Amino acid sequence: MVKDILRETENKMKKAVEVVRQEFIKIRSGKATTTLLDGIKVDYYGSIMPLNQVGTVGTPDIRMITVTPWDKGMIGPIEKAILAANIGLNPANDGTVIRLPVPPLNEERRKELVKLIKKFAEDGKVALRNVRRDANEHLKKSEKEEHFSEDERKRGEEDVQKLIDKHIKEIDSLVTHKEKEIMEV
């Protein structure tokens, strides 16, 4: 019973860390990366499709993202989708390729992004703490209902604490990496 609770708790904690990781991917660091376009969906002849399924997305250099549609008639809808995504990039096309210049970040904007990263990280840590609280409550309730020993419950609570410590370290590592990425000029 305790192992089931721990397994479920670890899965929930992994999901909380993954949410933080996904939020970090969306934050522009001043460098061109194709992940900036990951969430963009395009109206492809009546079907809503991810951008990377209607064209080739690439980064020819550190300040440029290119999108080469497989169907030249899709240039307009792709540009509209990029503008509608409100990611702060202005598409320009030459009839065959859409270019997205990625402007460098100024110091003030970098500091704002670092604050945003820390907010997302704190939200993730709060989610982890909520998972820990729920797991500990579940362990206490199960101890009474399933009649396993207090020692087993305490060991379970210690294991839950080890899990949260591991996942908080992972979030802190993500913060350090992303902050370094943003603050580099």
CATH of the domain at 13: 1.10.132.20
Same domain, 91 and 63: yes
pLDDT of residue 26: 75
Radius of gyration of the chain measured on its C-alpha atoms: 22
Same domain, 53 and 120: no
Same domain, 153 and 177: yes
Same domain, 40 and 94: yes
Mark which of 47, 80, 101 sits at the end of a domain: 101
pTM over 0.75: no
Mark which of 49, 81, 101 sits at the end of a domain: 101
| Rounded Cα gap, residues 107 and 183, in angstroms | 8
Amino acid at 175: V
| Rounded Cα gap, residues 134 and 32, in angstroms | 40
> What is the tens place of the pLDDT at every residue in 138-158?
988 888 887 788 888 899 999
> What is the tens place of the pLDDT at every residue in 154-179?
999 999 999 999 999 999 999 999 99
Mark which of 80, 101, 122 sits at the end of a domain: 101
Same domain, 110 and 86: no
Same domain, 91 and 61: yes
| Rounded Cα gap, residues 184 and 111, in angstroms | 12
| Rounded Cα gap, residues 130 and 16, in angstroms | 10
Range of the domain at 170: 2-26+106-183
User: Which string of b and e fits 139-171 if b means at least 16 CB within 10 Å?
Assistant: beebbeeeeeeeeebeebbebbeebbeebbebb
User: How many domains are there within the chain?
Assistant: 2
Cβ neighbors of 29 (< 8 A, separation 6 or more) are: 105, 113, 178, 181, 182
Helix (H) or strand (E) holding 42: strand 41-44
Same domain, 38 and 89: yes
CATH number of the domain residue 96 falls in: 3.30.1360.40
Mean pLDDT for the stretch of residues 42-50:
87
The SS3 assignment for 80 reads helix
pLDDT of residue 185: 56
| Rounded Cα gap, residues 79 and 101, in angstroms | 13
Same domain, 52 and 86: yes
